[in-house]
Amino acid sequence: MTSDLFSLAGKIILVTGASRGLGRAMAAAMADAGAHVMLNGRDLAALAAASKAISDSGGSVETAAFDVTDEGAVKAAIAGIVARHGRLDVLVGNAGIQHRRPLLDFATPDWQRVIDTNLTACFVLAREAARPMIERRQGRIILTASMMGPAIARPTVAAYVAAKGGLVALTKALAVELAPIRVNVVAPGVVRTPLWVAMSDADRQAMYDQAAQQLPLGRIGEVADIARAYLYCMEQEFGTGIVLTVDGGTVLV
């Protein structure tokens, strides 16, 4: 377990997109700090494996399999969490997808799918999580954006850039409206995660190498680097509407 200087003992936390990659790493870090974490995803086998890994390490965990783009499923899942545990302390909206196409070839349904998963789902999750939090006048909502959108852009990912930029704006709006609930957003840079699985091994490694050469820190991020940023958002008391960029200095250069 981590030091008692930082403890999430007894906290009830829902992490979406937690079956692999960044979501799995942050959920494990939260469990290690004493929280009871609920892992969301659609891949039952991956969820089971992630849950077992956390449980085997001594963490308190359960799974919550639902599609974040299904509004009815989101409502039912959060209501079920509150019914079982009496509250929801933290929502981490992390589920996301990527779709790469040049603008002129980018089909509208693909645009909508990315927006629905990366932006609209976070709006619905935050709205439903806020209901029990407002009653208790406490809670935290942490969303996952990107350095792309609020800070920089790249070709062929227009929907992703738009969605992640929208998450930053949504975070600021919710922080103002929901206080004293803290609402913050983490904006990772290039991180070694399964989000890039659609790329070939050679293309993915070339992207990693090129990014590392351009970064002041000389390497791309690992999921553990980003997980620590979410722990910070839970620990601090006087910050809301924060955009916490964790990108190895990408936006500086």
Catalytic residues: 160
Sheet arrangement for strand 12-15: 60-65, 36-41, 12-15, 90-93, 140-144, 182-188, 243-246
Residue that is written with structure tokens 């086998």 in the block: 45
Cα–Cα dist 98/164, whole Å: 11
**Residue 237: C-alpha distances to residues 37, 40, 54, 127, 142 (Å):** 21, 26, 27, 21, 14
Collect contacts of 42-49 with beta carbons under 8 A, ≥24 apart: 42/66, 42/67, 43/19, 46/19, 46/20, 47/18, 47/19, 49/19
- 44 is written with which tokens? 């039952």
Count helices and strands in the chain by DSSP H and E runs: 8, 7
Enclosing H/E stretch for 12: strand 12-15
From 23, 22, 57, select the one nearest 38 (Cα to Cα).
23
